[in-house]
Amino acid sequence: MYWHKASSFLKTWQLNKLFMLLCLTSLVASCGFQLRGDYLLDDDLQTLYVSSNDVHGELTRLVKQHLARNQVNVLKQKNIENPELRIMPDKLDRRTLSVFQNGQVAEYELIYAVHYQLRFNNEETLDFRFELNRDYQDDPNLALAKSRELSLLLSEMRKSAADKILRDMARIQR
C-alpha cells in the first residue's frame, strides 16, 4: 500500500515538473526571445557580398563569421543581383581622461569608430556609422601587461561592432 502511494506521488510530481517545463518553454518562445547573436535577416540579405579595404582585417573576419552563423550565404565575387556590405576602414582614437601628478596619462577613453554601407542593386546606398567607447587605465610600470590588456579590449570592441552590424541589418525591412 505504501509503495503504491509513493509511486503515484512520484508520477504526479514528474508530470507537474514536465508541465512547468512546457509552460516555461512556451512562455520564452512566445515573447520573441532569441539567443544572443542569432538574428533573423530579411530574405534580400540571405545572400550578399562583403567587401572591405582590409580584406583580412579582424572586423571583416568577425562580420563574415557572424553572417555564416546566421546562415547567410557570403559570395566570393561581387554580383549586381545581390546586395553588398561594404566595411569602410575602422578607426581607433583615444582621449585623455585623467593624468598622474607627474603629468603621465593615467586613463584614456578609447573611441572605436565603425563605418559601413549596405548597397542594394540599382538603389540608394544605406550608410551606417557608430562609435563604441571604453575606458582604459594606463600604468607605465606595467607596460607589457597593459599592452596586452589594450589588445584584448580592442578585440572585444571589434566583436561588439560585428554584433551591432548584424543587429542593424536585422532591422532592415524591404
Q: What is the per-residue pLDDT across 7-63, written as a single tens digit (0 to 9) for each?
A: 666 677 777 787 787 777 777 766 654 444 455 666 677 889 999 988 778 999 999
pLDDT band at 157 (very low <50, low <70, confident <90, very high): very high
Q: Hey, CA dihedral for 38, 86, 53, 114, is it positive or negative?
A: negative
DSSP assignment string, the chain: -HHHHHHHHHHHHHHHHHHHHHHHHHHHHHTT---TT-----GGGSEEEEEESSTT-HHHHHHHHHHHHTT-EEESS--TTS-EEEEPPPEEEEEEEEE-TTS-EEEEEEEEEEEEEEE-TTSPPEEEEEEEEEEEE--GGGHHHHHHHHHHHHHHHHHHHHHHHHHHHHT---
Averaged pLDDT, 139-145: 71
pLDDT of 6: 56
117, 76 in Cβ contact below 8 A?
A: no
The mean pLDDT of the chain is 82
Give the CATH superfamily of 34-170. Lipoprotein like domain (3.30.160.150)
> pTM for the full model?
0.71
